[in-house]
Amino acid sequence: MKYIFFGLVLTLIVSSSCKNDIKLNADYKEIAVVYGLLDRNDTVHYIRIQRAFQNTNATAQSISQKPDSLYFDSLEVKITDLTTAQVYTLTKEMSVVKDSGYFQNKVNVLYRFNDAITSAHRYRLTIRSVFSNNMASAETVVVGNPLQILLPPGDTFDILPNKIIYANFKSGVNARAYDIFYRFKYDEFDSITGNLSAQKYIDYFVQRSGLTSTLNGGEEINQKIESEDLIRFIGNAIPVQRGVKRVATFLDAFYAGAADDLNVYLDVSKPSIGIVQKKPEFSNISNGFGVFSSRSVFFKRHPVNTATQKTLREHVATKDQGWK
């Protein structure tokens, strides 16, 4: 009996060790990948909804070039204002051109609705697959615009040598972090014909992801920069070009506030620079993956005045750029 027992054990060990068909992938599960940001300053809102994929018989790169592998056949997408109970049914939109990249860009499926949304209201996104009846959902509270923008003052904008430029305002409700940047706009003209050849801009960041203490709004945010830094930035960012004359037109001051969930998503998405490269994943989509959140991108336009034009013509950092 002893020999029979050990013989059976040996047989089991040998037979099990001969199997090498290890299952690397779990069974297929329909998973929605969602990205959408609501902004009270927009009247048209887009939600990107795709599906996760896996295939043991093809590479991820080859699958990423097939629209049928990326998008659902039929979805019912709705957004509900939980404060007022108003329901928006989103429609499929395929006219927006997608930038080229790793994934195919011949087909770009988005879902949209047209209406103004309200600060401090909570909105729920629901996604239902018509064929499988699987559901995904998420909620966000809408970020309000910044309050009492005190500086820069007035309508025009002065860029003068050796001055301090201030950006002072109060945070909007539900804003957890702010980017502040100046968008310097200018026109280019053919120096011979005088015809307008291009309208361009460059962005100068005053603050990136500056955190607020609370989500209540009304928190004072004060930033300042040296005018010399801004002038040198313009000098470095715009190349000297023969046959081109330039005219500065506007300096738009942007105040971009992010909701709490969006700030967390952006934070965990930053490249890791430490020894341990494993990064946490963040998603606020129930039964899915991605982020549905809110932001407020508000800007105040400042026409560039003659004093600024004079600075650009004469300053050592910009005088060779052909400013009129």
CATH of the domain at 240: 2.60.40
Q: What is the pLDDT of residues 15-32, one digit of tens each?
A: 444 455 554 455 556 789
Instruction: Indicate if 80 and 128 belong to the same structural domain.
Output: yes
* Domain end call among 141, 168, 202: 141
Please state, in angstroms and rounded to a whole number, the distance separating the CA atoms of residues 139 and 119: 14
pLDDT (0 to 100) of residue 24? 47
Range of the domain at 174: 147-259+295-314
> Does residue 275 fall inside a structural domain?
no
> Does residue 289 fall inside a structural domain?
no
Instruction: Indicate if 157 and 252 belong to the same structural domain.
Output: yes
Q: Which two tokens stand for residue 140?
A: 């966000």
Instruction: Indicate if 52 and 179 belong to the same structural domain.
Output: no
> Does residue 41 fall inside a structural domain?
yes
Instruction: Indicate if 116 and 254 belong to the same structural domain.
Output: no
> Does residue 189 fall inside a structural domain?
yes
Instruction: Indicate if 60 and 190 belong to the same structural domain.
Output: no
10 Å Cβ neighbour count for 290?
22
> Does residue 285 fall inside a structural domain?
no
Q: Which two tokens stand for residue 290?
A: 């991605």
Instruction: Indicate if 197 and 71 belong to the same structural domain.
Output: no
Instruction: Indicate if 254 and 232 belong to the same structural domain.
Output: yes
> Does residue 264 fall inside a structural domain?
no
**Do the beta carbons of residue 145 and residue 178 sit within 8 Å?**
no
**Do the beta carbons of residue 112 and residue 47 sit within 8 Å?**
yes
Tell how strand 32-39 and strand 288-303 pair up. Answer: parallel
pLDDT (0 to 100) of residue 9? 40
pLDDT (0 to 100) of residue 10? 39
Q: What is the pLDDT of residues 170-226, one digit of tens each?
A: 999 999 999 999 999 999 999 999 999 999 999 999 999 999 999 999 999 999 999
- For the chain, 324 residues long, the average pLDDT of each consecutive 10-residue run is 42 47 56 95 96 64 64 94 97 84 77 95 96 94 92 76 92 97 97 95 96 96 94 97 95 96 92 71 94 96 92 97 95
Instruction: Indicate if 50 and 134 belong to the same structural domain.
Output: yes
Instruction: Indicate if 108 and 162 belong to the same structural domain.
Output: no
> Does residue 135 fall inside a structural domain?
yes
Instruction: Indicate if 65 and 87 belong to the same structural domain.
Output: yes
Nearest to 183 by CA among 205, 210, 156, 161: 205
Q: How many domains does the chain have?
A: 2
Please state, in angstroms and rounded to a whole number, the distance separating the CA atoms of residues 49 and 287: 13
Instruction: Indicate if 163 and 127 belong to the same structural domain.
Output: no
> Does residue 21 fall inside a structural domain?
no
> Is residue 228 helix, strand or coil?
helix
